[in-house]
Structure 1
């Protein structure tokens, strides 16, 4: 095995490169540790120096920033956490590190059964929808077109709270490279999945991604390509995408007519004949998914190749909605954590009492969470939750977890293991029953750290009272507030709720 000089390298005084985990025409990806966050695992991608020139630095920064904001807007897009240019002028960006399987690897084993197919395509479409609607950047809405939708750019992983989770990789990077001046006469993309207009070198819009998704959908159901060229050259694929009609579906697959019609429409040669947005695809998928999941839960049995359904009782949101304000808590504006136990599991919740109008103002909001840990003088976690509405501003909901208590350790572990929590709202005017419930997801790296903190704290010595640690964390919280607020204002889009998590 050849020696890699990057092994052990400390990038940007922060990221310790551990091992190469992937490489391709666009660059190399390394598993790394973020030394600033106590060794959190991240992925660092170096863009190939052959594709970029010095004039790309400002463009790379803009594109990487937009893609980072997109990753905060949708859980179906791999998050970009940081970006920069190393000492050799090679751009890199830092992503969340996810252990999953690419869709291309999955399809080598089998085509997908209909329920699983619908669930996965819905998630891909949600990611595309978020990108195509655009990100607010420097007071401008910037739509993002992927330009390279294909199975190898789609990651499938198991999420502890959501079941099977699908994420799209490399958003915006294809455009970044394609726009480089030294690539003017080059073609960027993957021939088998390119729209006709992309092969012509035209300016692209969201309908180009929809064409590529149509190719992917056909492949997911059949393990075959819908269009096969005479030769696998650029010219062969150009002719195929422009003039060859998709092969009809095998009747034995028993694909619903609405689904087969959708895929054929996505593969239309003219953009005007395709679905005009990802929302149109979602509208067609919705009744199909309901028919598969009616009166059933939507959780995967990871030990089976196919999807397993089980009868579902009351959901955790149903149970939260029936809770009453504890008799031992004052009826005032406070925030506190509490576990809710069911027959199947224990769930983490955050309870808050606010004015009724204040609650209504936060139901459409950007949700953000972050966890800060102080080891000394007393192991303590500050659990930060923020609800931000562009019109009404932020509502900060901080609370503390004492990790020298069994209750604090238990809460930290459950938060880390489940990857989410519910926020329960009680109105000052009518505290008898929970008014509303919102779900907030936690970044995977923070989940791992919560579990680690709970484990490490057991052996830590206490040298002072818990209040001293709380005071230190409170000062750090006040210092972080402006940065968190800037981030929330950057990603907020009117009328849509976004779920963010600090890493």
Structure 2
């Protein structure tokens, strides 16, 4: 029997009365990852990671719960961090956590990477790390998170219908917990991956976000050259300790003479590899600034955002793939839709598949007002007398007020069922903005993210809709939803005005 199909006998039952393990899909120094089905959500695929440690004290269990909670909260903030859903302890005492199941490739398998792709992927990695370093707010206290194990195998690259390629960072907070567990059980105060560890991490010292910046520097070097900045004689701790603390990194031009690297990028990578944290870039914003400058000057052929604003089609600065940018700019207003202020859901065919989108027509001035705005979405579903869903998107600008975009979907319609399932699968959707004035062009694309809890409900609603008896009372259900819509508006506005610090937020 192959390793990928083997499930140990003691893991045959339901984990936490919810997850049915199917097969082993990954194994590393920190643990094993299994594909599983969430039976409470109709068999939705998830990934379950079991850590190598077992709990030997209540304190370890508390610390694991804390790190898992912080990681889950962080995963709700950034598109570029793998979503964490659940955590717990198996009957054998092994800690585990549950995350979204993603079908992609490890960054390691793509190395070396051409310069345009390198800049696109590195920018996404930096956005995810920046979000973590800024921290998550729990009960009024901000907890910054340092990854501690940035390396290519902890970066997943997945096909994406909007970005072309989407970065997901794995294992946030796990290295810290395993380091703590090792310290308790073996008196060994270091855990990480030697070729990527900062000098201060090898020393066992307290580390901050600048340690991740060092690891990022090692990884950027490798992404471009296919090699690491050092070639120690052995892979033992002592050899890597010497390299990181006392040896200068090799020059990129020496490792790959054919690579024509912009001087700014070369300087950035070497700055990230400085031995002293104080000599490196001090935060991800500095790195993102350099990458942004490169995209605008040295690499004019790289994809630009569709709209020339800081609010690119996805919050956090993530940009459209060049193929999809062309797709959006070439869209035309459907002939069967009136020329008036209107919003409606509509499929969008992309190279990666069909995507659910909102198409809207507004005066050009109104669209420009919403370029920088908070975005929030909510969904309501009723089964009786007719299965019907209300999908509300709110664009809110404090100066110009709210712009409401409600859509009513007959969930007895198979096409709408497919569209809603697409929403749940991708977890976000584009808002494609056409001008009311001729020639009615698409001039901007915004986006809205859907919270994990809402995504799970959407899938359940689709399955429920398929089992309900046929009905011809859609008008009555729509009127019932319109009454709830009025109540929903005040709650959504209250949510946004209570949280003015976010540029784009999604439903809770």
Would you say same fold, with TM above 0.5? Answer: yes
Distance 1:70 1:235, change over 3 A: same
Q: 2:225 aligns with which of 207, 222, 225?
A: 222
Distance 1:473 1:92, change over 3 A: farther
Moved more, 68-77 or 409-418: 409-418
Task: Compute the RMSD of aligned alpha carbons.
Answer: 4.8
Structure with greater contact order relative to length (CA < 8 Å, sep ≥ 6): 1
1:156 deviation in Å?
0.6
1:174-213 aligned within 5 A: 174-180=175-181, 182=184, 184-213=187-216
Distance 1:185 1:488, change over 3 A: farther
Residues in 1 aligned to 2:166 and 2:158: alpha-carbon distance in whole angstroms: 5
1:445 deviation in Å?
10
CA contact (8 A) 1:119 1:289 kept: no
Residues in 2 aligned to 1:476 and 1:20: alpha-carbon distance in whole angstroms: 45
Partner secondary structure for residue 255 of structure 1:
coil
Distance 1:443 1:293, change over 3 A: farther
Tell me the equivalent position of 1:118.
119
Residues in 2 aligned to 1:311 and 1:377: alpha-carbon distance in whole angstroms: 40
1:372 deviation in Å?
6.2
State the TM-score, normalizing by the size of structure 2. Answer: 0.76
Tell me the equivalent position of 1:279.
285
Tell me the equivalent position of 2:78.
74
Residues in 2 aligned to 1:97 and 1:5: alpha-carbon distance in whole angstroms: 23
Q: Does 1:19 align with 2:39?
A: no
1:434-453 aligned within 5 A: 438-442=446-450
Moved more, 181-190 or 256-265: 181-190
Moved more, 268-277 or 230-239: 230-239
CA contact (8 A) 1:73 1:498 kept: no
Moved more, 246-255 or 71-80: 246-255
Residues in 1 aligned to 2:492 and 2:41: alpha-carbon distance in whole angstroms: 17
Q: Does 1:269 align with 2:275?
A: yes
Aligned residues: 476
1:420 deviation in Å?
3.9
Q: 1:237 aligns with which of 236, 240, 243?
A: 240
1:217 deviation in Å?
0.7
Instruction: Please list every run of 5 or more consecutive structure 2 residues that lacks an aligned counterpart in the other structure.
Output: 307-320, 435-439
Partner secondary structure for residue 179 of structure 1:
helix
Moved more, 94-103 or 461-470: 461-470
Distance 1:437 1:13, change over 3 A: same
Q: 1:337 aligns with which of 298, 320, 344?
A: 344
CA contact (8 A) 1:74 1:498 kept: no
Residues in 1 aligned to 2:355 and 2:59: alpha-carbon distance in whole angstroms: 53
Tell me the equivalent position of 1:348.
357
Distance 1:349 1:258, change over 3 A: same
Moved more, 47-56 or 251-260: 47-56
Q: Does 1:400 align with 2:402?
A: no
State the TM-score, normalizing by the size of structure 1. Answer: 0.77
CA contact (8 A) 1:440 1:499 kept: yes
Tell me the equivalent position of 1:421.
429
